[in-house]
Amino acid sequence: MTTASPIIDLKGVSFGYPGGPLILRELDFTLLPEDRVGIIAPNGSGKTTLFLLIMGLLKPLSGRMQIFGKEVREEKGFTEVRRRIGLLFQDADDQLFSPTVLEDVAFGPLNLGKSKAEALAIARRTLDFLGLNGFEDRITFKLSGGEKRLVSLATVLAMEPEVLLLDEPVNGLDTRTRTRLMEVLLQLTIPFVLISHELDFLTATTMTIYTMADGRIRLDQELTLHQHLHAHPLGASPHEHCPTGAAHGDSSAHAVDKPC
Amino acid sequence: MLREPFAAGDSFLHRLDPRIRLAAAVVYSCAVAVCREFPALLSALVVAVALIALARLRAAEVFKRLLVVNGLVVFIWAVIPFTFPGEALFRLGPFTAAREGVALAAQITLKSNAIVIAFMALVATMPFATAGHALHRLRVPDKIVHLLLMTYRYIFVLEQEYLRLARAAAIRGFRPGTNLHTYRTYAYLIGMLFVKAIDRAERVRWAMLCRGFKRKFYSLHEFKAGRGSVIFLIFISAAVLGIAALELGAVAW
């Protein structure tokens, strides 16, 4: 790891909805310029809340947030944060509100003050990058689930962000779109934080995987020996499995677990 | 699911500048709505039919829609002739139909059919999004246009959420009946839909903020009025003026 100054630096951040329990409890989180971080944690542990706090959509009850080396507190500071950090929402229907795909992708660049021609060029280039040529005039709500996800990613990437926050991007995707998304993430040169329930996907795309518990983020680096239950034909007859890598981190051991 | 079966097409009308089509539809409808004379109304109907022929829409789809409109018209025929005071035209058992009532019902029938047919030919032949942009270019206030477009966008999501809730109720054996349980269930369902809509609205607002939304929308559409549009404009203006002339009695029938 380098000693470069962190992009995102949260110290002792707490958050809870009025009248409810604390969702985040004195959470510390740091993202460095080269980081690709995965977060895997149970539902309701505050992963999405963390993203909303970073984008300034929710305000912390206490704690300090430094983003791009500057302390952010007020709405004004977050305008800049939102321009430089891209957030991919969990539900693509929240993100796509324009009638056509091209308009939706061009919406961000236009807000950033680009001319119509520039915005259209950026939008076309982004769609191209994601393999979405020919989608320009499609109606956003008539897209399939996988197409919606990729178009949402296009709307975020069109803002040319310096950091990406991805909230369960693989949820409900078929294998093909999943693979496409994985390829896209591996091609990206910017740091990102990815929330997912799929360890395979996280190990393939990120360098560090954190988990969340008790409203805090923790790094679980200890290897734990464990067994998997699995099913395959002839599973009832006595058999043995190839002794390939056995620890987490070696995703192939989990993904390819065929009888000898 | 809402569909736009007329929007896809390649007729002269489909290719016409949407702004001109919208403006023509509005002017035409206002003119027809205030007419009372039968020569004027009949020629308005002829103009509407000519427009729909020009748009080359599928006749079956057009009639299906007219059926909906005329379903309401039937009620007007069932009530107005018998309740309107005036000179008796004929009797039906204990009811007397007045000449003025019959005339009024006929006027309503002609007007509503003419306007609906003209709208199908002029407005239904463009995708909803295009209509929104055309309204924007016609200087309809931003807020109204975007309220319209966002409503159109999210009506599908709300429909899906409603169906999901209704299915959830159905698989747990919910059978609608005329009882308190049914009313309560529907009340919960609708309440739930409102809660979800508010939640959704908040998340959409967040998504817009994340993309630098500054309370200003941009329209990417460029509309061009070609020679066809000018010819059409002359034709429709002449038609509306003709209808007005007939209405005002300036031209003998």
Contact: A94, B200; criterion CB under 8 Å: yes
Total domains in chain A come to 1
Structure ipTM = 0.78
pLDDT above 70 as % of chain B: 98
Q: How far apart are CA A133 and CA A101, in angstroms?
A: 11
Query: B161 to chain A: nearest residue by CA?
Result: A93
The verdict on A93 touching B (C-beta cutoff 8 Å) is yes
CATH number at residue A197: 3.40.50.300
A202: left (phi over 0), alpha (psi -120 to 50) or beta: alpha
Judge whether A17 is closer than 8 Å to chain B, CB to CB. no
Contacts of A91 in chain B (CB under 8 A): 203
**In chain B, alpha helices (H):** 12-15, 18-34, 38-55, 59-83, 99-122, 128-137, 142-171, 180-210, 227-248
Q: Which residues in chain B have their CB less than 8 angstroms from residue A93's CB?
A: 157, 200
Which pLDDT tens digit goes with each residue over B15-64?
Answer: 889 999 999 999 999 999 999 899 999 999 999 999 999 999 888 989 99
Confidence of residue A257 (pLDDT cuts 50, 70, 90): very low
pLDDT above 70 coverage of chain A, percent: 87
DSSP summary character for residue B67? H
Contact map slice: A 101-140 vs B, CB within 8 A: 102-103, 106-108, 110-112, 116, 119-120, 139-140
Q: Please check the confidence at residue A4 and state whether its pLDDT lies above 60.
A: yes
**Does A248 reside within a domain?**
yes
Residues of chain B contacting residue A95, judged by C-beta atoms under 8 Å apart: 207
Q: Give the C-alpha separation, B232 to B13, whole Å.
A: 9
Q: Do A141 and B156 touch (CB under 8 A)?
A: yes
A49 contact B CB<8A? no
Nearest Cα of chain B lies from the Cα of A9 at a distance, in angstroms, of 19
Chain A residues whose beta carbon lies within 8 Å of the beta carbon of residue B152: 99
Taking the Cβ of residue A98 and every Cβ of chain B, the question of whether any pair is shorter than 8 Å is answered with yes
What whole-number distance in Å separates Cα of residue B162 and Cα of residue B103?
44
Spans of all domains in chain B: 12-134+223-248, 141-210
Mention every residue, 6+ apart, whose C-beta is less than 8 A from residue A232.
Answer: A258, A259
Instruction: With CB atoms and an 8 Å threshold, state whether A55 touches B132.
Output: no
Euclidean distance between CA atoms B121 and B54, whole angstroms: 8
- Alpha-carbon span A46 to A52, nearest angstrom: 10
- Residue ranges making up the domain that contains A222: 8-255
B116 has a pLDDT exceeding 90: yes
Give the distance from residue A20's alpha carbon to the nearest chain B alpha carbon, in angstroms: 17
Kindly determine whether residue A93 and residue B149, on different chains, have CB atoms separated by under 8 Å.
no
* B76/B36 Cα distance (integer angstroms): 17
Complete DSSP assignment for A129-182:
HTT-TT-TTSBGGGS-HHHHHHHHHHHHHTT--SEEEEESTTTT--HHHHHHHH
The answer to whether residues A217 and A61 touch, using CB atoms and an 8 Å cutoff, is no
User: How far does B239 lie from chain A, in Å, by closest CA?
Assistant: 34
Partners of residue A141 in chain B, C-beta under 8 Å: 153, 156-157
Q: pLDDT tens across A51-88, in order?
A: 999 999 999 999 999 999 999 988 888 989 999 999 99
Q: Report if residue A28 sits inside a domain.
A: yes
> A9-25: buried (b, 16+ CB within 10 Å) or exposed (e) per residue?
bbeebbbbeeeeebbbe
Whole-number pLDDT of residue A253 = 41
Closest to A122 measured CA to CA, from A89, A161, A87: A161
Give kind and range of the element (H or E) at residue A57. Answer: none
Instruction: Suggest the residue from B164, B211, B219 to mutate for an interface test with chain A (most A CBs closer than 10 A).
Output: B211
A245 within 8 A of A72, measured Cβ to Cβ: no
Full 3-state SS string of B111-145: HHHHHHHHHHHHCCCCCHHHHHHHHHHCCCCHHHH
Q: Answer yes or no: is A52 within a domain.
A: yes
Task: List chain B residues with CB under 8 Å of A110.
Answer: 218
If pLDDT is split at 50, 70 and 90, which confidence band does B221 have?
A: confident
